[in-house]
Chains A and B, each alone.
Chain A
Amino acid sequence: MSASVPTEQVPELAAEPRPTGQRRAGSYGAYLRRRLLQFVVVVFIGINITYVITHATPIDPVEQTISAATSFGSTSPEAIATMREALRALYGTGDNPVEQYVRFWRRVAVGDFGPSLSAFPTPVSVLVGRALPWTAGLLVVSTAISWVLGNLLGGLAGYYRNSTTLKLTGILAMAVHPIPYYIIAFVLLIVFGYLWPVLPISDAYDQGMRPGLTLDFVLSMVRHGFLPVLSLVMAGIGGWFIGMRSLVSNVVTEDYTLYAELAGVPRGKILRSYVMRNAIAPQITGLAMSLGAIFNGAIITEQVFGYPGVGSLLVAAVHAGDYSLVIGVTTVSIVAVSAAVLIVDLLHPLLDPRVRAG
């Protein structure tokens, strides 16, 4: 659920993202430099926040491991003291804070977050690496579908103002748009898990299947991914629809559109080459800005559908008190989202020359 107001509703914002006062034409290089700086700053601040918060926890992973090992079976207090010493040495939690911080950054720089404390000694990067492709796949597919479909339908709705079907679609979009990701996922779960169980509601593929590029496996993946993707698309499409519709209805009143219509250019061509192309620009900015929110939605959707991505991993890590894994997942999320935003920002000027100015 993002704090999103469709960008076109505030006309000044529609003309963004130029900072004011600078119109150095054609300086893609300067733009690039600024965006890279942004990326570095975000990642740095984000990782530091993560580190500080995590290390403010009073949770001691050694004590947790001991408790996990001694919850069943006979125990002896002295044996536990011995175990405590040994584990402390093994996990390396005995050093002073500054050393730990320096060591942390040195390792993060090469992507090493140390061993997971609830799946010792498997490295955190291995666990995250296993989960990340599922989340990435989910996000790319659902974002692409909702952005393209949303903008397409919105553009049509904005242009053909008198179509009843499009007006109804509009109302539907407005009704679904404000509903948070969790509720949509939950309702889909109820419908397809309890009332009409035709689709699988957990895992990424059928049990017993070997992952590989076989048709069977791909089909199984599609069946299992259907509900999570549907959930994310339903949650996201409304925003793009409403935004595009507004943008288009503004562009339609512009002079050049009227001129084209008077000049007898076919409606379809006007829609494609004049209206849509000019209206789409703020939507690309909007895409970059909402990637963070979409990621949040993906996390909770994964949890509801038992989809083995980073969202499920994060929740499991929190419940297990595994702070290496929690840091790892959070850091990777921050880097991934920032990188995605960077890519969108870098591609933007190639699509819209106005942006390149300053």
Chain B
Amino acid sequence: MLRIIRDLWRTNWEFAAGTALLLVVLVVAGLSFFSPYPPLDVYVVAPDMPPGGEFLLGTTSRGQDLFWQLTVALRNTLLFGVIVAAISRVIALLVGLFAGYLGGAGDRLLMLFNDTFIVLPIFPILVLFYFVMRDRMSWTLLALVTACLGWAYDARLIRSVAMSVKTREFTTHSVFSGMTATQIVLREHLPYVLPVLFSTTMNNINWSIGLEVTLSVLGFTDVNTPTIGGMIYWANQHTALVSGIWWWIAFPVLAVVVLFIGLFLLAISMNEYIDPRSRLARLGNTG
């Protein structure tokens, strides 16, 4: 495993860049535990100070130090993304693996159910959900609902891998040796699915964070907990751009763009690694 990572780091610039970017973001988010200000408090420092000097990234119109707010916001946003990804992986795995293994009518039924969730436009439903839940909408609930809506695409991918693995010899061996379907799926097929799982996780985190930013900017989440989308929301509320407080918008946007690009690079480099043809092509080119 470590050898793979080392190989990737050396040969694949996308992997290297992605990991580097992601590490930067993680470090910044980790700093949030050392924040000298309680994250929910406002007017703890002089408002509207530009970056530089005492305040690394400046301060907001709400009297908060932008740097420390950003660390907490990144942490919360990442946490949200990771939780959604985790829950939806579980669903995607279950659906994909079983559909791939079962085949036939079971597979068709599962895929019908699956494709429904691919086609459904998710945003209106999330908005609808917010409309109903309003202020009772907690972050955990939102994560749960988002996860339940975001597994479908990846389930299909997992299913494809499962299907190809099913035709291999070791599967027939397992069947003859008396393993149950669950045991085969979980013990024999799962390792083959892991690389795809990894890359889809990256993409899923991107997707769910994008959703969080969009919903928060519209004010459809709990905007008192600092998140990236929440910061942009408050900046808009205080007409930051027009008032000249550009740093309040620029730095959160920059941070989240770095995060997205980092995750994306990791995802595609992983994908390339999975596909033997492209891996060979890359080695051929660098050789």
**A interface with B by C-beta (< 8 Å):** 1-6, 9-13, 16, 19-21, 37-38, 41-42, 45-46, 49-50, 53-54, 56-57, 59, 174-175, 177-183, 186-187, 190, 194, 242, 246, 249-250, 253, 289, 291-293, 295-296, 299-300, 303, 314-315, 318, 321, 323, 326, 329-330, 333-334, 337-338, 341
Contact = CB atoms under 8 A, between A and B. Distances in A.
Interface of B: 103-104, 107-108, 111-112, 115-116, 118-125, 127-132, 134, 150, 153-154, 156-157, 160-161, 163-164, 196, 199-200, 203-204, 206-207, 209-211, 213-214, 217-218, 220, 232, 241-242, 249, 253, 256-257, 260-261, 263-265, 267-268, 271-272, 274-275, 277-278, 281
A242 to B, nearest CB: 7
14 contacts: A4-B153, A9-B199, A10-B161, A16-B156, A38-B119, A49-B120, A57-B132, A182-B214, A183-B257, A186-B232, A253-B277, A289-B118, A323-B131, A338-B119
Question: Interface residues of B: mostly helix, strand, loop or mixed?
Answer: helix
Question: Interface residues of A: mostly helix, strand, loop or mixed?
Answer: helix
B125 A183 contact: no
A187 to B, nearest CB: 7
B265 A174 contact: yes
Nearest to B205: A3
Given A9-B274, A11-B275, A177-B264, 7 more contacts: A2-B153, A10-B275, A45-B120, A53-B129, A59-B134, A292-B118, A318-B130
Nearest to B281: A249
Contacts of B264: 174, 177-178
B218 A46 contact: no
- With a 10 A CB-CB cut-off, give which of B128, B130, B161 has the most chain A CB atoms: B128
Contacts of A250: 277-278
A181 B131 CA distance: 22
Given A12-B163, A296-B121, A300-B214, A183 B256 contact: yes
Given A42-B115, A333-B124, A182 B217 contact: yes
Contacts of B163: 12, 20
B132 A46 contact: no
A16 B160 contact: yes
A341 B119 contact: yes
Contact of A19 (B108, B253, B257, B267): B108
A57 B220 CA distance: 15
A170 B222 CA distance: 38
B150 to A, nearest CB: 6
Contact of A318 (B127, B210, B253, B278): B127
A337 B119 contact: yes
Given A57-B131, A183-B256, A315 B218 contact: yes
Contacts of B253: 183, 186-187
A177 B202 CA distance: 14
A8 to B, nearest CB: 8
Nearest to A249: B281
B124 A5 contact: no
Contacts of A53: 125, 128-129, 132
B49 to A, nearest CB: 21
- With a 10 A CB-CB cut-off, give which of A5, A181, A250 has the most chain B CB atoms: A5
Nearest to B195: A10
A158 to B, nearest CB: 11
A330 B210 CA distance: 20
A38 B115 contact: yes
A228 B248 CA distance: 24
Given A41-B116, A46-B116, A50-B128, A178 B206 contact: yes
Contacts of A9: 199, 268, 271-272, 274-275, 278
Given A296-B123, A314-B124, A3 B150 contact: yes
A42 B260 CA distance: 31
Contact of A178 (B104, B263, B277): B263
A178 B257 CA distance: 8
10 closest residue pairs by CB, A with B: A180-B210, A1-B210, A296-B123, A178-B264, A12-B160, A9-B271, A178-B260, A57-B132, A330-B124, A3-B153
A329 B124 CA distance: 8
A237 to B, nearest CB: 15
